[in-house]
Amino acid sequence: MVHNNGFMARPVNRRSIEKPPIMEGFKPFGIPLRNLESVTLLFEEYEAVRLADYLGLSHQEAAQQMKVSRPTFTRVYEKARRTLSTALVEGKALLIEGGNYQTNDCWNRCQRCSKLFVCSDAKAVCPFCHESTVRCLNPDSSATETNGFCICTRCNTKIAHVRGKPCRESQCPSCGARMVRENCPSTKTKNES
């Protein structure tokens, strides 16, 4: 990217993340997801909250663990807190996905049973339900993973998922609603609610 002054913008380094979140998001109790607006908490923002608030690390210690500068950590952390407070105060669904991160392990989530498992490489079969519905969550996952689809919970329109772009940032080409990831547990709320 070139700025108006002719200088190239410095590329953003990937933030190191140790553990994936066990859930893909949260929603207010008793309201179907299709009736809610949502906000997205990026994986690196989740990690910042986990390190600072859950584990109680200082910003300097957390920044070292994420392999970023302390000011960068603080910016990521403050954005995470704004996103969390928006979800709580405004009653929005919170989706945890996307971002600019790297991991040492491969994060796999079964799209059938929603179980998360971490291992050294991408898996094609879920060790819990033994189905071939595993999705690798890593941003640079191998070719064994398909990008899948984003779907509309209102009219069931499917569009190809763009890797690295949360489905919620896409609008349905048919009805204009926000899209969700295909086989995501949140899409089941349409028929259950």
Residue listed under structure tokens 């991160």: 101
Does any domain span residue 49? yes
Does any domain span residue 140? yes
Does any domain span residue 121? yes
Does any domain span residue 6? no
Does any domain span residue 165? yes
Q: State the average pLDDT over residues 170-189.
A: 68
Q: Which structural domain range is residue 85 located in?
A: 15-192
Q: State the average pLDDT over residues 23-27.
A: 91
Between 137 and 6, the more confident residue is: 137
Does any domain span residue 10? no
Q: State the average pLDDT over residues 48-61.
A: 97
The tokens for 184 are 């995501």
Contacts (Cβ under 8 Å, ≥6 apart) of 91? 28, 31, 36
Burial (CB count <10 Å: 0-12, 13-18, 19+), residue 182:
middle
Does any domain span residue 45? yes
